[in-house]
Amino acid sequence: MPALARAAAAVLLAAVTLRAAAEAPPPDLLLDRLIAESLAVRPEVKQAQATVSAEQERIPQAGALPDPVLTLGIQNDGFNGLQIGKMETSYYQVMVTQGLPWPGKRDKRSDVARLAAKQAETGLSRLRLTTEADVRRAYLELLVARERLSLLDRLEAIWQKSIATVRARYETGEGAQSDLLRAQLELNRLRQRRWSLQAEEATKIQALNRLRARPLDEPIPTTVRPSELPVPPVPGIEEAVADAEARSPELAGARLDAAQAEAQVDLAKVERFPDLGVNLGIMPRGSLEPMWLASVSIGLPIWSGRKQGKAVEETKARSAASAQGAEAVAQVLRLRVAERRAALASLAETIQLYREGLLLQSRATTESTLSQYRVGKVTFASVLEANAGYIGDEEGHLLAVADAQKLAIAAAEVSLERTGVTGGGAMGGTSLPGAGPSGGASMGGSRGGGTAAPAAAPAASAGASSSM
């Protein structure tokens, strides 16, 4: 009876804890600082900023007039001495030639260059979004690694408690020696697995420090538990698509491609007209009256059928291709939004199931099974199953929450990458070492790419062993 009372108290305490976890946590100041540091020092961001500056400097160049040409010369009659001032056809020459593009060309060239600069800005926007997302993912993975270590500690405590029960039964002759040996074996396996998890934690710290250009082994103290993070809200599909289309650098870049192609079509049409050249000169002749020169030159586009005309057709074709490219990006973006939304909705249901029943039931099952083993009502195999099921459910919940957070990060990043999250988590089995039926799973393994880890099955299907 006391065991049942303790189990009930544990259920009530867990319910209060889960209810508090559903509330939104305060802003994570550490995460905000890590993001700001990475944005300030990441070389890729600085490279993109320099590219934007370079493209902006091209705008005034594109609309500038050609440089004038200064010509200095002399014309003289005969080789027997300077005849300037003596012969009317002998003089010095000072002439300036200025090219004048056909009206509208300079403005069109500036428009093309201005759109190219905006293209570079979309590249910078993409790098900023990606940098923030990279930091958030690395930080989340560090939190998950540390909470998995915490789960390992909890499982070790469960096994310590189980060993005490098994030893007590064995010493009174009510339990088998094999039960005691198996319990000790499971505890030693936990200690063995701890090394791989600690190595994983170290690699996550190194990855996060690399993103902010700090010493790789610089400690990063954290206080947030990912299992207590709230589930990101599932947005309406129209709202999510509109937000993604408004913020996507790829879509903005594709649309700028199309706009730039249209501007190049307009430029190509104007380029068919010839440029002008204005020549102004003065010819001093010494004591004679000076001469002067003023002329206008113009190109003759006699090959426009094979040059300028074909250039217009080329830019029109490229414009049509760019428009289709923008539509293709928009379609992929809408698909990714729908995929993430469906996966997040599934994960939200899964997390709710964990928090509102499964975790509480699993914990109560563990306590009840151990109590029944004390009085000889169940075998030690049932204790193994219950322990495996409880820790497996805890990790399944943790990884489902982590997947939901990764989906939110990808949505904020407006990523076009395919999501690796299945959305619900496969019920049955666990990736947590020491919580699986064979004890061979590695707790140090990382679930890369946001792939949903299999959530643990209920205790009855967790297997007959727990070797975290």
Rounded Cα distance between 175 and 167, Å, is 8
Phi then psi for residue 136, to 5 deg, are -65, -40
How confident is the model at residue 65, as a pLDDT? 92
Q: Pick out the chain residues at pLDDT < 70.
A: 1-26, 170-171, 174-175, 183, 420-468
Question: pLDDT tens, 346-391?
Answer: 999 999 999 888 888 888 888 888 788 777 787 777 877 887 788 8
pLDDT digits (tens, 9 = 90+) for 177-207: 777 777 677 777 777 788 888 999 999 999 9
Amino acid at 402: A
Q: What is the pLDDT of residue 278?
A: 94
Say what the pLDDT of residue 401 is: 93
Question: Which of 30, 381, 447 lies closest to 179 in space, CA to CA?
Answer: 381
CA–CA gap between residue 375 and residue 378 (Å, rounded): 8
Please name which of 264, 296, 348, 245 lies closest in space to residue 97, comparing C-alpha atoms: 296
Only one residue has tokens 């997302």, namely 133
What are 244's two structure tokens?
């993604």
pLDDT of residue 252: 94
**Helical (H) or strand (E) element with 269:** helix 249-271
The pLDDT score that the predictor gives to residue 195 is: 84
pTM for the predicted model, two decimal places: 0.75
Which CA distances in Å does 386 have to 179, 339, 397?
Answer: 15, 35, 16
H-type alpha helices, 295-379: 308-353, 359-374
Domains and CATH numbers, the chain: 2-440+447-456 (1.20.1600.10)
